[in-house]
Amino acid sequence: MKIINGLVFHEDKGFTRETLYTEGGRFSLSSSEDTILDAENCYVIPGLVDIHFHGCAGHDFSDASPDGLDAMAAYQISQGVTSICPASMTLAPETLQDICRCTSDFSRKDNIGISRLVGINLEGPFISNAKRGAQNPDYIRQADFALLGQLQECAGGLVKLVTLAPETPGALDFIRQAKQSDLRDISISIGHTQSDYDTAMEAFGCGADHVTHLFNAMPAFTHRAPGVIGAAFDSPGCFVEIICDGIHIDPSVIRAAFAMFGNKRIVLISDSMRATGLSDGSYTLGGLNVQVNGSLATLEDGTLAGSVTTLLDCMRRAVSMGIPLESAVQCATINPARSIHIDSNYGSLEVGKAADFVLLDKDLRLIGVYKDGKLVTRH
């Protein structure tokens, strides 16, 4: 395929008018294929990569259902997300094993026309009860390296991320052990935590390199207690997730976070739950009841319970808050891909990578979604 006249995104040079080529499902230097795609008046950006969402379209990743995974992957690609790394909740080890097995089986099936499953994000169970947010307290456990190994085995190597509260007993040893083992490629993310600055710095020193939804479910960044947020700022190798749904974080804090962390370290996430794409009403998340009203999803006590937004909406919202489009695109594509080590194949429009791309009009409305060089959705 030859993609002409579009404003094409590259991390190093932003948007430039250039011709892209795909051959056999990958970006290439030229193409023997006849198809020409005229992207006049469109932005051409990489397919989005959502590394932290729980559900959408009526399904939850924690249901461990192949049909649910199929429906979520279909919904996500219709919204411009070509690669997904869904997140489990804090649940019993047997339930997590079921989720991992189901996902591993699913990943071996044909994924034509739906988002590509690139990993599993274990959001817990090794978290702090005091900062559990919408996680079920019954299943919170101390850091357990053997359990991580079992889950990775069930997942056939798909686990890419695990959230950990570094101040909990055994957490720092867990990180050290993981980083010296054959599980070293799993990114360890600090989150759902009461950690202070020093403990978080120790965790980053041991090899943690990610932060689960920065600002949410952790102590605030204050002038004498910088906490995880200050430690993340002082640890240049770590990525920080941000839920940019207009609810979880104030726009002023979004702008401050981009000023602090720059556009190479922020990973936009949706953190979406099963009601995403559906109407208001009562739903569940990790076995807890959630009420959805407009863009607000809350537990019965008012605690925020994930979002009902898509990653593309988060990207657009960042732009509406004053973040440059180039930065927002980078934080929804190559940064998440890099943070889970899949960037050699996905996350940008470079020659050799999978030809996953999205066309947006000048108002950032979705025009088309392409995966492996093939049209999936045309709006």
Task: Report the residue number whose CB is nearest to Zn ion.
Answer: 271
Instruction: Say which residues have a Cβ less than 8 Å from residue 163's Cβ, sequence separation at least 6.
Output: 121, 122, 123, 124, 126, 127, 189, 190, 191, 192, 212
Q: Are 216 and 248 in contact (CB under 8 A)?
A: yes
Of 50 and 271, nearer to Zn ion (C-beta) is 271
Q: Is residue 11 within the footprint of Zn ion (CB under 5 A)?
A: no
Of 158 and 206, nearer to Zn ion (C-beta) is 158
Binding to Zn ion (CB under 5 A) within 87-126 occurs at: 123
Q: How far is the CB of 145 from Zn ion (least distance, A)?
A: 22
Q: Are 343 and 120 in contact (CB under 8 A)?
A: no
Q: How far is the CB of 175 from Zn ion (least distance, A)?
A: 20
Of 209 and 271, nearer to Zn ion (C-beta) is 271
Q: How far is the CB of 172 from Zn ion (least distance, A)?
A: 23
- Which parts of the chain fold into alpha helices (H)? 66-78, 93-107, 145-154, 171-179, 197-206, 227-233, 251-261, 311-320, 325-332, 334-339
Q: Say whether 301 is catalytic.
A: no
| Degrees to nearest 5, angle at CA 157 with 90 and 183 | 80
Binding to Zn ion (CB under 5 A) within 178-197 occurs at: none
Of 11 and 60, nearer to Zn ion (C-beta) is 60
| CB burial string 8-28: b at 16+ within 10 A, e below | bbbbeeebeeeebbbbeebbb
**H helix count then E strand count, the chain:** 10, 25
Binding to Zn ion (CB under 5 A) within 257-296 occurs at: 271
Instruction: Say which residues have a Cβ less than 8 Å from residue 94's Cβ, sequence separation at least 6.
Output: none
Q: How far is the CB of 379 from Zn ion (least distance, A)?
A: 28
Question: Binding-site residue total for Zn ion (CB under 5 A)?
Answer: 2
Of 273 and 369, nearer to Zn ion (C-beta) is 273
Binding to Zn ion (CB under 5 A) within 29-58 occurs at: none
Per the residue annotation, which of 271, 313, 343, 356 is the catalytic one? Answer: 271
**DSSP letters for 137-151:** GGG-----HHHHHHH
Q: Which residues bind Zn ion (CB under 5 A)?
A: 123, 271
Q: Which residues are identified as catalytic?
A: 271
